[in-house]
Amino acid sequence: MRCFPRWIAIVALAGCAFFPSLARANLTADQLLLITNKNDPDSGALAAEYAKLRQVPPEQIVALDLPDTDEIPFALYETGVVAPLRQYLKDRHLTVQVKCLVTFYGVPFRIADKINTLDEEDELDSIRHQLVVDVQQTQAAVLALEAQATQLDASFKPQPLNAQPDSSLEQTNAQFRQRIRAAIQTVASGIDGLSDPAAKTAATNALIQSIQTLSGLLQIDSTIGARHRANNDESASSSKFWDDVHAEALKGIGELTAARSARWDKNARAQFRQLAVKYLGLLGASEVMDSEIKYFETKQTGAATDSELALLWWDYYPRTQMQPNPLNYKSHQLSGGAPTLMVSRLDGPDPATVSRMMRDSVAVEAQGLVGQVALDARGMSPTHLTNPDGSPDALGAVDQKIRDLADELRQKTKLQVTLDNNPEVFPPHSVKNVALYCGWYSVNHYVPGCDFVRGAVGFHIASYEMVTLHDPNSRWVSGLLKDGVVATLGPVAEPYVGAFPDPTAFFPLLLTGKLTMAEVYWRTTPVASWMISFIGDPLYTPYRLHPALDFIDLPIDLQAALQPLN
């Protein structure tokens, strides 16, 4: 589950209108945005070919100014990919319509780890100092509010702040908010009991000032202001005051949203921090600063370009390691939050292979994919399924998943299934007429064990298999594509085995013919902002005409993958 600072929920008031709830239907051509590299002629040519094959509207092709390299610097990804893509979609009113990005041959497929400049390191030090001061000011403001509560009710006992030296800001602020709620309840009750109008007004103003200091103008507007505006008995002057507060709050939401959405810009970051104090209070400002501090983290911030692009509309989020994929059938997208996009890549060892992949996908889809299933386990014994401490062993679990898939397909489909349960991978060209493939290991050493039919789909579970994509001889991703597979996936660095889609979910969903390839991948891949890319025509639906598995034969939890996204 994703954890977002409280300020995101407030600022998302604007985002709710910008990104309404996305109901899922089968992905269509007009929901794609094709992304090319203007500095690689093959990139644009392949996108034009694909657009013609799938009838993608011409205005839904964008050419970015990118280096002709496999890897792109983190900073250039932010300014040369995220910024122009957001602007392009907004300018053409495609922010809601486009649900899948398609990157083409020539677009860098890997993002390097973030490297902070000296200027950024200075900014980071400054934000850290500001954060310490903010927390101290928050503590003082909470104490002042509690003093008012004690003054109005002598029985009020302030709650202690039990934050430990290693407490996170989230834990500290949660305790602050608990103390604030208790104090506000006491103060409000005490104000109701005051008989002197002047004392009542003074106490009320002090309470409002405390709430604004701690939680900002947006909180004042959404609580006290909302109640006053709903009161038909209030005076005209009071009504105008709260209407003005509401107008200022709406202005603040717009300013916060604009500053938040340009995280790569130093001036926007500074403006975001300044606006946060006024509109989100000390508590919100501290969370904004904390999110900006996380933005400067450098360790394990590299990723597959496509995996990161799924979070195109997310603003501040941790870039270290991975994020749970909200599109996974076991997940639930955050209501009101920025959407997660599907991303697919049309790339390969050379332009001719990519062109063939696209043409084969369209041709095979029109008649249906026919061929056997080749599954390559390693014969790991039951002792490999758990670690000595009794916890599940990830490698043993992968091996068992492949055997489980073989059992399921034999029981529920009429497909021919070849299962190899030996430690070695399939010997060269030992399995014929293969439509679907899944196997694992033999790292960095592709062995052409299968002869694939036209339109075949398959992936190999092993590390580093997409470190390079344009060498057909050394890695599994490029080798599979060169040998005829039209849809596959692989990691641009070490992904950890748990980052791969579960074969017992990926292939059964594909066989129902209910989802496109992009939907199958994004409903089953567990993480985003990480190392694995999916390669293939996002619209390819090889079993649409002739499903090999009835969706009612899917496990109940996997049937959820066919339901609309919230």
For residue 450, pLDDT over 90 is answered with yes
Confidence of residue 39 (pLDDT cuts 50, 70, 90): very high
Confidence of residue 86 (pLDDT cuts 50, 70, 90): very high
Using CA atoms in the order 248, 249, 252, 257, what is the torsion angle rounded to 10 degrees? -150
Cα angle at 460 between 454 and 466, to 5 degrees?
95
Alpha helices in 19-78 (DSSP H): 41-54, 74-77
Region 523-545: mean pLDDT is 97
Region 83-92: mean pLDDT is 98
Q: What is the pLDDT of residue 241?
A: 84
- For tokens 């034009």, name the residue: 48
Which pairs count as long-range contacts for 264-269, CB under 8 Å and 24+ apart, including other chains?
264/75, 264/78, 264/79, 264/82, 264/83, 266/119, 266/120, 266/123, 269/123, 269/295
For residue 7, pLDDT over 60 is answered with no
Confidence of residue 481 (pLDDT cuts 50, 70, 90): very high
Confidence of residue 472 (pLDDT cuts 50, 70, 90): low
Determine which of 166-170, 225-229, 313-317, 421-425 has the lowest per-residue pLDDT on average. Answer: 225-229
CA distances 46 to 32, 106, 209, 220, 352, Å, are: 15, 10, 60, 54, 9
Determine which of 52-61, 189-198, 376-385, 386-395 has the lowest per-residue pLDDT on average. Answer: 386-395
305: how many CB neighbours lie within 10 A of its CB?
Answer: 24
pLDDT by residue (tens digit) across 492-528?
999 999 999 999 999 999 999 999 999 999 999 999 9
d(CA 270, CA 22): 33
Q: What is the pLDDT of residue 333?
A: 55
At 548, the amino acid letter reads: A
Q: What is the pLDDT of residue 178?
A: 93
d(CA 402, CA 420): 10
pLDDT by residue (tens digit) across 325-339?
999 999 865 445 789
What distance separates the 2 farthest-apart alpha carbons in the chain? 93
pLDDT by residue (tens digit) across 133-157?
999 999 999 999 999 999 999 999 9
Q: What is the pLDDT of residue 277?
A: 96
Confidence of residue 4 (pLDDT cuts 50, 70, 90): very low
For residue 379, pLDDT over 60 is answered with yes
Whole-model pTM?
Answer: 0.91
Determine which of 101-105, 283-287, 382-386 has the lowest per-residue pLDDT on average. Answer: 382-386
Confidence of residue 16 (pLDDT cuts 50, 70, 90): very low
Average pLDDT, the chain: 91
Domain with CATH 3.40.50 in the chain: 351-562
Phi, psi (rounded to 5 degrees) for 387:
-80, 165
Confidence of residue 17 (pLDDT cuts 50, 70, 90): very low
Confidence of residue 563 (pLDDT cuts 50, 70, 90): confident
For residue 427, pLDDT over 80 is answered with yes
Q: Is 337 left (phi over 0), alpha (psi -120 to 50) or beta?
A: beta
The strand ranges marked E within 328-449 are: 342-346, 372-376, 417-420, 431-440
Region 100-111: mean pLDDT is 98
- For tokens 């490698």, name the residue: 395
d(CA 188, CA 176): 18
- For tokens 């002792």, name the residue: 383
Q: What is the H or E stretch that residue 175 is in? A: helix 169-192
Beta carbons of 369 and 337 less than 8 angstroms apart: no
- The CATH number that domain 351-562 falls under is 3.40.50
d(CA 77, CA 319): 13
Q: What is the pLDDT of residue 228?
A: 77
Confidence of residue 383 (pLDDT cuts 50, 70, 90): low
Q: What is the pLDDT of residue 18?
A: 45
Phi, psi (rounded to 5 degrees) for 324:
-60, 140
For residue 19, pLDDT over 50 is answered with no
Region 22-39: mean pLDDT is 84
Phi, psi (rounded to 5 degrees) for 349:
-60, -30
Confidence of residue 60 (pLDDT cuts 50, 70, 90): very high
Region 96-120: mean pLDDT is 97
